[in-house]
Chain A
Amino acid sequence: MNIDLTDTTSARINAALVQGRRAVGAAVGMVLTLVIVTDEGNHYDALKAASEASKEHPSRILVVIRRPGRSPRQRASARLDAEVRVGGDIGNGETVLLRLHGELAEHAYSVVLPLLLPDAPVVVWWPADAPAHPARDLLGTLAQRRITDAAAEEDPISALGSRAEVYEPGDTDLAWTRLTPWRSVLASALDQKHPEITSAEVAGEECNPSTELMVQWLAERLSVPVSRVRTEGPGLSAVRLGTAEGAICLDRPDGALATLAVPGQPDRHVALNRRSTAELIAEELRRLDPDEAYAVAMRRGRGRIGAEAARAEPVAAGGRRSRPAPGPEEGAPGAPS
């Protein structure tokens, strides 16, 4: 059921939500409020991903679409339009599209606050154009969890670098989420008996923030020098852990099927496909407490992530290099990595 409200207020939207829920007869126990802060260009993809994720995490989705306007007259006016969607094929829970016109675009906080579910956790997601300091952003202060996506920014590496500078518990970035399958395969490889690791090498696309995070995470956990190698990708393409008996290597040349090589054992295939944004968001929503592993990687990356990219040279010697491959499409919102 859809209810359109023009020039409205949060109170009227709340009333519409109750009305919609009654009409549809849906009474789903919603577990969180997800606030998506975006613009007209990005909201469709983001909402689609969030709706899909809401099958796993029934939630109230508030899409904040800022329309500050171009002309002085538009900028001076202020109007709130809302579209309330309850039930139907949008997944579980409820969705409200909020269009903030003119001056109101700067005051999203006042619109969102009355619409949050009582008691339930709040997650804010900026699919692109995240604020410089998410935790200090007014909307960010409402949330337990603030999701950004460095890969969707114009300069992914420096975006990630600046996020490392302002990291606060509750921050998370989809560049980190994309690493989970890689990290779990590597960790399970080391669950088995293995020789001591003496060095590591991470290969990936030039502008891939996930690759940078992998470098920091490995360096932190293994306490060995980690070198960064640039490849054509897609995304992260290989991780090699050097040991005295040869390298433990996880190599994914095509973005789907990877090969795990362990010295003294046959090579094994492992599916490591690049996941959709919906899957990433679903993973993010699974845990709403601060992610300490991410915190550690970010803390170590402080002052390193952007700097290393600026030098455009591997951190340590060794490893093959290929041409730097700038990937503008990597910055597109919702691009899988």
Chain B
Amino acid sequence: MSDSANTKRATAAAESRFAANPLRNAQDRRLPRIAGPSGLVIFGVTGDLSRKKLMPAVYDLANRGLLPPGFSLVGFARRDWEHEDFAEVVHDSVKQYSRTPFREEVWRQLAEGMRFVPGVFDDDNAFVTLRSTVEQLDKERGTSGNFAFYLSVPPKFFPTVVRQLKKHGLSDGPGDSWRRAVIEKPFGHNLRTAQELNQIVHEVFPPNEVFRIDHYLGKETVQNILALRFANTMFEPIWNRSYVDHVQITMAEDIGIGGRAGYYDGIGSARDVIQNHLLQLLALTAMEEPSSFDADALVTEKLKVLNAVRLPDDLGRHTVRGQYAAGWQGGERVVGYLEEEGIDPASVTDTYAAIKLEVDNRRWAGVPFYLRTGKRLGRRVTEIAVVFQRAPYSPFDATETQELGHNALVIRVQPDEGITVRFGSKVPGTQMEIRDVTMDFAYGESFTESSPEAYERLLLDVLLGDANLFPRHQEVERSWEILDPIEEYWASHGKPAPYASGTWGPTEADEMLARDGRSWRRP
């Protein structure tokens, strides 16, 4: 997040504490936000996400001194492990994946607070053990009853786990302590299932204690969209329909579905990516300035712009889905989606989706937002391209500006985070010839080494109770409302267009933009 955003928020958060804490002062900006006494319970702690992202993030936070002394980590999984075995697993994953150097004293401090509870989710005994573990940690480590429950498990287990937490009195802490639930996507697979899921979780945890992880929002570059737009003066005046021709938001992956056949088939790329990541990026790109950077003000603005999103009338002409076919990708022969292991050869699941959306408000009326995502595309890239209109009048004649395209501002979300500005410049020489050049702000190159992983930021925010970077249930439900008609249309009309792996998607997608007199950027 931008400095100013951080400061504002830190100031707001800190002011309420000043009365009680003489050592805090709004002017003292070196002091980082450290979470209060607390612990983290991870369900499904043996999973990939937990080993590759969560455990290293916990360690990196500890290493940066942002975790409270006495912080405790409890793992819950179906393994016959002792606490030491668990600590060993965490140790290995931290050594392998952590971003910051390994330091023995930090590890010692963390390892003292590691506990493991073996069991399955419907096993009452396991939850009794979990409860006594939590209570014991309060006594031994001073976690003061504050615990976050991270559900790193498939969504079908959510109901069981949250109900077990409720049943065993784990969802309500003693006194004024807090209990929070952290859940990962998918948040349902359409509006109805999303509402059901929200209902189940909200029965046990109040809405403001439920944190939905969209790791994209934890990325520095995504937070930087707000800084770019609202901390500067030079972009906002042209950030509207008078100057912007259209916006392209792309998330491309070069990999196939890998081992996720069971999860992916029947879900598809639109549900997997557009519903959450791309619509969130759209909201951040298109929203009005929030009155402050607290969670409520942000969700208000994001919801407002999501509510203004309108689908095109003719979904057949303005949406495209595709499925990757066998081909060569980056010098490697790869199989098509239908030949992937575990996939029904008649599957109509989309691995590519492109849709056109309009935002009906004064700022954006008539400016299309093109969203696309896909697997096995040219390369791995996520970016937001704001493409500007051509100059209304050019004193140069057509041959001189032949090579001049539209001006564009591209926010590169990953990899190689940064911002590119594209504009015309005279080619050196005696003739007047104008060609596109780019100006680069290499955020990635300059800052990645020290910029925290998305999960670090998000875990810390959960412990601090700061909901800025988490989509609220209203946003999730509204996003499904946007996507559901498209999915329904697709279900009853035709099937995905095949595209060769390693290309930028089916030709239908190019035709979709060509109909509007535009073309996709090659990211």
Contacts and interface: CB of A to CB of B under 8 A. Distances in A.
B23 A222 contact: yes
B398 interface: no
B441 A29 contact: yes
Contacts of B32: 184
Contacts of B70: 260, 266, 268-269
Contacts of B27: 292-293
Nearest to A255: B105
Contact of B450 (A28, A55, A184): A55
A257 B105 CA distance: 6
B141 A268 contact: yes
Given A27-B440, A188-B68, A183 B30 contact: yes
Interface in A207-262: 218, 221-223, 256-257, 260, 262
B63 interface: yes
Interface stretch (B106-114, B369-377, B488-496): B106-114
Contact of A192 (B25, B31, B37): B37
Contacts of A103: none
B17 interface: yes
B141 to A, nearest CB: 6
B21 interface: yes
Contact of B30 (A190, A256, A260, A293): A293
B25 A221 contact: yes
Contact of B442 (A27, A184, A292): A27
Most B CB contacts (10 A, CB to CB) among A177, A184, A187, A266 go to: A187
B522 interface: no
Interface in A258-316: 260, 262, 265-266, 268-273, 282-283, 287, 291-293
Contact of A185 (B24, B28, B69, B106): B69
Contact of B31 (A56, A184, A271, A272): A184
Nearest to A31: B446
Nearest to A57: B446
B445 A28 contact: yes
A28 B443 CA distance: 9
B32 to A, nearest CB: 6
A292 B447 CA distance: 27
A29 B22 CA distance: 40
A181 interface: yes
A333 interface: no
Contacts of A260: 69-70
Nearest to B7: A287
Given A190-B23, A192-B36, A271-B63, A29 B141 contact: no
A70 interface: no
B36 A188 contact: yes
A283 B65 CA distance: 13
B108 A269 contact: yes
Given A183-B31, A192-B144, A268-B142, A28 B442 contact: yes
Nearest to A289: B29
A121 to B, nearest CB: 13
Nearest to B440: A27
B24 A283 contact: no
B140 interface: yes
Contact of B21 (A56, A180, A191): A191
Most B CB contacts (10 A, CB to CB) among A58, A185, A265, A273 go to: A265
Interface residues on A, range: 35 or more
B296 to A, nearest CB: 22
Contacts of B108: 257, 269, 271
A146 to B, nearest CB: 17
Most A CB contacts (10 A, CB to CB) among B3, B31, B141, B440 go to: B31
Contacts of B260: none
A293 B109 contact: no
B139 interface: yes
Nearest to A272: B65
Contacts of B449: 55-56
B34 interface: yes
A271 B37 contact: no
A270 B141 CA distance: 12
Interface in A58-91: 58
Contacts of A27: 440, 442
Contacts of A49: none
A298 B284 CA distance: 43
A166 interface: no
B112 A269 contact: yes
A293 B28 contact: yes
A187 B24 contact: yes
Contacts of B24: 187, 190-191
Contacts of A194: 20
A271 B62 contact: yes
A273 B103 contact: yes
Interface string A169-203: 00000000100110111111011111001000000
A271 B60 CA distance: 12
A184 B65 contact: yes
A125 B139 CA distance: 47
A256 B106 CA distance: 9
Given A183-B23, A262-B142, A268-B142, A92 B17 contact: no
B394 to A, nearest CB: 28
A197 B22 contact: yes
B22 A190 contact: yes
A193 B145 CA distance: 14
B446 A92 contact: yes
A193 B37 CA distance: 11
Given A184-B34, A191-B21, A271 B28 contact: no
A29 B446 CA distance: 8
Given A192-B144, A257-B109, A287-B30, A29 B69 contact: no
A33 to B, nearest CB: 15
A158 B70 CA distance: 38
A151 to B, nearest CB: 18
Nearest to A192: B36
Interface in B23-54: 23-25, 27-32, 34-37
A185 B34 contact: yes
Contacts of B441: 29
A191 B144 CA distance: 13
A190 B18 CA distance: 10
B442 A29 contact: yes
A89 to B, nearest CB: 13
A256 B104 CA distance: 9
Contact of B142 (A184, A218, A266, A287): A266
Contacts of A193: 20
B483 to A, nearest CB: 37
Most B CB contacts (10 A, CB to CB) among A92, A188, A190 go to: A188
B209 to A, nearest CB: 19
Interface in B441-459: 441-442, 445-447, 449-450
Contacts of A273: 103, 105-106
18 contacts: A92-B446, A184-B30, A184-B31, A187-B23, A188-B68, A191-B17, A218-B23, A257-B108, A260-B69, A266-B142, A268-B68, A269-B69, A271-B62, A271-B63, A271-B105, A273-B103, A282-B450, A293-B28
Given A194-B20, A221-B25, A292-B28, 6 more contacts: A183-B30, A187-B21, A188-B35, A190-B20, A221-B23, A223-B22
Interface of A: 27-29, 31, 55-56, 58, 92, 177, 180-181, 183-188, 190-194, 197, 218, 221-223, 256-257, 260, 262, 265-266, 268-273, 282-283, 287, 291-293
By Cβ-Cβ distance, the 10 closest A-B pairs, closest first, are A268-B70, A293-B28, A268-B69, A270-B69, A292-B27, A188-B34, A56-B450, A187-B23, A265-B142, A271-B106
